[in-house]
Amino acid sequence: MNASELREKSGEDLKAELLKLRKESFNMRFQVANMQLENTARVRQVRRDIARIKTVLGEKSA
């Protein structure tokens, strides 16, 4: 997910996407703890996507 793609979305869409990614991150933490997560690179990708969304939301509010 690119920052340019995120800037095209509305604030409500971004908040919904942020909620979805936070839930995914929460679930992945349990999978890591139980050694069940297969795609470990996804953890980093989700964290960065969350940061991108928060940045774009901050830009829109300012």
* CA gap 31, 26 in Å, rounded: 9
End-to-end CA distance of the chain: 22
Give the predicted TM-score (pTM) of the model: 0.91
Whether pLDDT at 13 is above 90: yes
Contact 28, 37 (CB under 8 A): yes
Query: Residue 56: is it exposed, middle or buried by C-beta count within 10 angstroms (0-12/13-18/19+)?
Result: buried
Q: For residue 5, what pLDDT is reported?
A: 94
Q: For residue 1, what pLDDT is reported?
A: 82
Q: For residue 62, what pLDDT is reported?
A: 82
pLDDT tens per residue across span 16-57: 999 999 999 999 999 999 999 999 999 999 999 999 999 999
Can you give the residue range of the structural domain that contains 23? Answer: 3-61
Number of domains in the chain: 1
Nearest in space to 24 (alpha carbons), one of 57, 50, 54, 52: 50
Whichever domain contains 28, its CATH number is: 1.10.287.310
